[in-house]
């Protein structure tokens, strides 16, 4: 039985310095500071001492001393859902590639939660604060949000928005309207004529743009989509499932359904399957091209979005020099046709 060390304390920089026989300043220089001038001999002793003591820099102390923490904090609204949030995955990967400490803060779903989460994130003083997630067009908390973020930038932090177009910060946005339009053109070309759209909450910007783009695209092909063909619910699979049922109960012809995201498309697909394949098979298209759906049958026609490069772009923006005007980088997707929308006839 070894003596139980009753209450060890973490080794501090001072301990390392002492053991190495140098000053804290020197130890700091070799352990953290840019590899400036420290004589090789001392350098080695410090390194040895650090290893021997199992020294780990106290990041909090560094943050205090330096005035700003290292790393990226991603604020994602809502919980990580089952269809792995591709944005989060992309950012984690991108941050990892650059060796940046990554912190995920997930805010609740209420708009006010976001503001609160931003303030909490501010507390950590990360060098880059990224916000991801949809936003409501009529959100009353936007001024507060902008205010909090603005404050953060004024304090020297950086802010990058992903998906949150229209706010005065560097932004990576997806070409939602364009994608919707392209999808419409594609489906028309495949021979479909009677459409319905399964969309999310009325005021959500993302779904709204995708829906509008789709309608535009149909219009360009000479097709008018009656307003009652756009069904609205939550932005998720279950809502889509329910909405599809509602849609098919109506006495109308539908040969293709466009869901504004893949999760919802999955709901549609599942509903269609559950009710049994009746003769007139209905085509389904989504938006996002999330990987978790690649094994679904039938394979889903959707708008592919390059998540990884989008995340990379966001980091590039946020880590680069700050530009006087907010930059907006629009990421374009492209339609991928798969089995869920077979050519008609």
Partner DNA sequence: GTGAAAGCGCTAACAA
Partner DNA sequence: TTGTTAGCGCTTTCAC
- What is the DSSP annotation of 126-158? -SEEEEES--BTT-TTHHHHHHHHHHHHHTT-E
What part of residues 46-75 is at the interface with its own copies (CB under 8 A)?
54, 56-61, 63-64, 69
Q: Which is nearer to DNA, 9 or 345 (CB)?
A: 9
Decide which of DNA, its own copies, none touches 276; Cβ closer than 5 to 8 Å per partner kind: none
Collapsed DSSP state (helix, strand, coil) of residue 197:
strand
CA dihedral angle for residue 129, residue 130, residue 133, residue 138, rounded to 10 degrees: 60
Question: How many CB atoms lie under 10 A from the CB of residue 71?
Answer: 18
Residue 10 binds to its own copies (criterion: CB under 8 A)? yes
Near its own copies in 271-300, by CB under 8 A? 273, 290-292, 294-297
120 binds DNA (CB under 7 A): no
Residue 32's binding partner among its own copies, DNA, none (Cβ under 5 to 8 angstroms by kind) is DNA
Give min distance, CB of 55 to DNA, in A: 7
Asked if residue 185 binds its own copies (CB under 8 A), the reply is no
Does 166 help bind DNA (rule: CB under 7 A)? no
In Å, how far are 303, 305, 323 from 330, measured between CA atoms? 15, 11, 17
Q: Is the Cβ–Cβ distance between 65 and 33 less than 8 Å? A: no
Return the one option of DNA, its own copies, none that residue 234 interacts with (CB less than 5 to 8 A, by type): none
Structure letter (DSSP) for residue 229: G
- The closest of 297, 294, 320 to 84, measured between CA atoms, is 294
Query: CA 133 to CA 117: how far, in whole Å?
Result: 13
Among 6, 37, 276, 280, binds DNA (CB under 7 A): 37
- E-strand ranges in 86-219 read 102-107, 128-132, 158-162, 170-174, 195-200
Binding mask 55-74 for DNA (x = CB under 7 A): x-xx--xx-xxxx-------
Asked if 14 touches DNA (CB under 7 A), the answer is: yes
Q: Does 22 interact with DNA (rule: CB under 7 A)?
A: yes
The 10 Å Cβ neighbour count of residue 241 is 20
Site residues (CB under 8 A) for its own copies?
A: 5, 7-10, 54, 56-61, 63-64, 69, 79-85, 88-89, 92-93, 96, 101-106, 108, 119-120, 122-125, 147-148, 151, 154-156, 237, 266, 269-270, 273, 290-292, 294-297
Q: Which residues bind DNA (CB under 7 A)?
A: 9-10, 12-14, 21-26, 28-29, 31-33, 36-39, 41-43, 55, 57-58, 61-62, 64-67
């Amino acid at each position: 039985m070894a003596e139980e060390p009753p209450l060890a304390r973490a080794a501090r920089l001072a301990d390392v310095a002492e053991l190495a026989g140098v000053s804290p300043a020197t130890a700091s220089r070799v352990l953290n500071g840019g590899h400036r001038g420290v004589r090789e001999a001392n350098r080695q002793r410090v390194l040895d001492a650090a290893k021997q003591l199992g020294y780990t820099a106290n990041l909090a102390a560094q943050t205090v001393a330096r005035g700003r923490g290292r790393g990226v904090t991603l604020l994602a609204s809502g919980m990580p859902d089952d269809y792995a949030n591709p944005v989060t995955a992309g950012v984690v990967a991108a941050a990892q590639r650059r060796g940046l400490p990554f912190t995920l803060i997930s805010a609740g779903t209420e708009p006010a939660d976001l503001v609160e989460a931003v303030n909490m994130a501010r507390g950590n003083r990360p060098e880059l604060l990224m916000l991801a997630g949809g936003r409501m067009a009529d959100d009353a908390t936007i001024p507060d949000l902008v205010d909090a973020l603005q404050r953060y930038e004024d304090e020297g932090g950086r802010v990058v928005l992903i998906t949150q177009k229209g706010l005065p910060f560097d932004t990576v946005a997806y070409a939602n309207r364009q994608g919707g339009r392209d999808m419409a053109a594609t489906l028309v070309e495949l021979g479909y004529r009677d459409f319905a759209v399964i969309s999310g909450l009325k005021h959500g910007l993302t779904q709204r743009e995708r829906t509008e783009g789709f309608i535009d695209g149909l219009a360009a092909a000479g097709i008018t989509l009656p307003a009652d063909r756009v069904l609205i619910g939550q932005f998720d699979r279950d809502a889509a499932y329910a909405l599809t049922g509602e849609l098919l109960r109506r006495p109308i012809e539908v040969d293709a359904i466009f869901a504004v995201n893949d999760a919802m498309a999955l709901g549609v697909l599942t509903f269609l399957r559950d009710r049994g394949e009746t003769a007139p098979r209905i085509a389904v298209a989504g938006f996002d091209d999330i990987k978790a759906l690649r094994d679904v049958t039938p394979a889903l026609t959707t708008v592919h979005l390059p998540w990884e490069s989008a995340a990379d772009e966001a980091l590039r923006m946020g880590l680069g020099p700050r530009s006087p005007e907010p930059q907006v980088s629009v990421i374009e997707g492209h339609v991928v046709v798969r089995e869920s929308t077979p050519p008609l006839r």
